[in-house]
Chains A and B, each alone.
Chain A
């Protein structure tokens, strides 16, 4: 993907003293708890912390950094989906030039999570808090080892984390220590599996393959598919039109 705006980003490396100062104070205060950070000037700040001090970090941001606003909390699954995008149509396959290699390349088992601020494990917990006085938000991450998907709850610092943690629990199977009601939020109580994990199939696509992009004219970048290629179930084929 050619990005024309690369140069513009270089030409103004100024402006973000606020976030740099914030990052400095975070690193200074938390010390070794901070594993890795990433600063996107003018945009956002990512801080990856040690899993053991996840609750303490919340306490720190709530009390010391005055980040009183709890934004959201969720989990990332960095595994590549074994099912691809479940788009089986010819057009899709032609558009999608190098699906296999890409998948292998960025599998977390090889290189670790390749998101901002890095990561070593498949699951990462993510949360965002904001300070209203400065208007700056911080994205916090922590690695969750595969064999122990538990982490401390944030409820003591941010009561609003309650439902977000329940959602993470049912969708990813991450359990939160000290949460008063670790039950499913959206899903039925007896639901099996963790739907937002990448290895959980999207059953609708298994039952009925996605027809893909059928309602647009052929893409200019790709060669037009041959006329006799069946594009999928819902394509309007003139021969279906019913001469009979």
Chain B
């Protein structure tokens, strides 16, 4: 590990990782909110978006954060105060836990778990608890309806999310996210290893199911019934104000980024470039370690995050593009879509992948 190589004490690496996690989660969320939510969407809707705060409105997000931080933290009278106040933290914790296992380079990963993807899918459901807490504790009927909708929806879309990943796991032969990246860098398609084997090519069905399920997990249009501003005012967030509202907001957009990171690891080859390209460029050559492991060039700890960021922005573009184009489903239509379309499709995908895995 690179960090270990420089011989930091354990507490130092921990603090270092903590700061880095904040940077990854919040630092990526800021630009993507500005680029996509403020600007791209504005251009799609034939308007300019924020223009006043900073050059070309680039400081708008800071202004929004400042505004929200100043606002009074209102708790409804009948609300369950503790649960009400804790709910946004639970949502945000889920986001940070997700970020832990995402590899940004051969060594640039917070925790290199062997069950990385399994862990990620498990902790992503924590946000459901936070949303349910918010919906129930607000003591508002709109919030309650929103919270219940969210619970139903997130549980329904956990399944296709997991099943879409299963195909990737079968192909890579590992739950470790680094190994999944490895498999894509080293892989070959029909004997051709020029572009490696990004699983988007072989797992295209899985990729679409994953992205749709992510859209639902994020409660973004067309699956934003829990928020549904024209029906439920703002769903489970209705009663929140000031900084707590901002935390939900950050949680939503940061999670979008993390899921995009995960999708790029699972389907787009993560931080790596194809092995053929590594061989062609002198500084990036790989070595085989003593125990047979592939050791990538240290340069990837710098290039990797940049590649990941590029892929993340490409995927979040799709997420926001869909968000601002489609109308929303109705709750029962959403459930039907999950159980009758996505899950059978994912199962078929798994079966095909399994058969092909055995055959080849």
Touch test A–B (CB under 8 Å): no
